[in-house]
Amino acid sequence: MIAAIDPGNCKTKFVGIQQRPFVFPSAIGVNDLARNLKRDPGPYDFEWEYEGKCGFAGTLALEESEYAESRKDDSKAHFDAKLRTLIALHRFGAGTDFDIVVGQPIDTHTDTEKTAIKRMYVGRHDLTVNGQRKIITINRCEVSPEGAAAGLLVAPNTGMIRVIDIGSGSVNYATIISRRFNNRGSWTYNEGMESKRDLQPAAFARQIASKAIARKWSAEDMVYLVGGGAAELLPYLLEYFRHAQLIDDPQTANVRAFLMIARRVYG
Ligand SMILES: Nc1ncnc2c1ncn2[C@@H]1O[C@H](COP(=O)(O)OP(=O)(O)OP(=O)(O)O)[C@@H](O)[C@H]1O
Ligand SMILES: [Mg+2]
C-alpha cells in the first residue's frame, strides 16, 4: 500500500489512498505501561512496544504519561519520528506492506539526512500497539521537503509561488517556479508556534515576514500558508504579503502533497 506520513514535531499526519487524513499528537512517553485505572481507549490513545522499549503515545501520552515529550528537532532522522510514523502505519494503514513518502525540513533535506531516514525506515518493524502485534514491512521510502511539497497542490504550470509552512517547531519557506522547487528561495527557520515562551502572533508574523523580505520576497508575491499556525498568523502576514492566503486544510497540506508525490513515484 502507498501511504504518506508527516511526523511533525507537534502533530503526526497520515494519509493513504482513498482515505481521509488522520492527525494525532506526536507526544511519546517511554516506560509508562503500568496503570491501575484504565480508560476506554480514544482513537489516538496508543500503548506501544517496539525495539525492546514500551510506553504511551498520542493522546494517551499527553494525558497519562509522566514523561511525555514531543521531540522538536531540526531533522526527523530519529527514534521518535520513526515511532510516530510506524504507529500511524499500524493504526491507519491498510495491510502490512508499504511504500511511503515522509517529510523533512528544507534545511536538513540533504542527501546525508535523506539517506539516514530511508535507512531508518526500509525493512521490517515488529510493533505492538494496544496489544495488537504487526510486522510492518516498508519496501520503499522517499523523503520530501516540508512546505515546498505543499506548494505543488496549488502551483501553476508557469510563474512563481511562495509557501510558508508554519509548524510547531519550525517555519519552512519555499519558492516554486513553474512547478519546480527553487533552492535559492527556500530555507528553514528553526522556531515555530511552540518555540516561544508566550506566543505573540503579530510579533511572530513580523519576524517570519522580515526573514522573507530580507531574501527579496516582495509584497506582491503569491504567498500560500500551510501548517497548524497558518490560520492564526494569516491576518498579520497580510500586512506584509497582500496576496497571502491559506491552502485548504493547511495542517494536512504537506501530507496530502506527499501522497500526491507517492502516487507519482510509486505508480
Ligand atoms: N486551531 C488552531 N489555532 C491556533 N493554532 C493552532 C491550531 N491548530 C494548530 N495550531 C498550532 O499549530 C501547531 C502545529 O502545527 P503543525 O501540525 O503544522 O506542526 P508540526 O508539523 O507538528 O511541527 P513541525 O512542522 O515544526 O514539525 C501547534 O503548535 C499549534 O500552535
Ligand atoms: Mg510540519
Q: With 80 as the cut, is the pLDDT of residue 39 above it?
A: no
Residues 6 or more apart whose CB falls under 8 angstroms from that of 192 comprise 9, 10, 72, 166, 167, 168, 169, 170, 171, 229
Q: Does domain 156-246 have CATH number 3.30.750.24?
A: no
The residue whose CA is least distant from atom 9 of ligand 1 is: 228
This prediction has a pTM of 0.96
What is the total residue count of the chain? Answer: 267
Q: Domain ranges in the chain?
A: 2-146+254-266, 156-246
Ligand 2 centroid vs 98 CA: distance in angstroms? 22
Confidence bin at 232 (pLDDT 50/70/90): very high
**For residue range 178-211, what is the model confidence (pLDDT) as tens digits?**
999 999 999 999 999 999 999 999 999 999 999 9
CATH number assigned to the domain with residue range 2-146+254-266, chosen from the 4 options 3.90.45.10, 3.90.105.10, 3.30.420.40, 3.40.190.10: 3.30.420.40
- The per-residue pLDDT for 95 is 95
Domains 2-146+254-266 and 156-246 share a fold: yes
Instruction: Output the pLDDT for position 32.
Output: 67
Q: What is the per-residue pLDDT across 111-145, written as a single tens digit (0 to 9) for each?
A: 999 999 999 999 999 999 999 999 999 999 999 99
Kindly give the pairing relationship between strand 53-57 and strand 28-30.
antiparallel
β-pairing, 53-57 vs 45-50, is antiparallel
Does ligand 1 come within 6 angstroms of the Cβ of 227? yes
232 CA closest ligand 1 atom index: 4
Instruction: Looking at the CA of 230, name the nearest ligand.
Output: 1
How far apart, in whole angstroms, are the C-alpha atoms of residue 61 and residue 128?
16
CA distance 49 to 126: 9
Torsion sign over Cα 256, 62, 246, 173 = negative
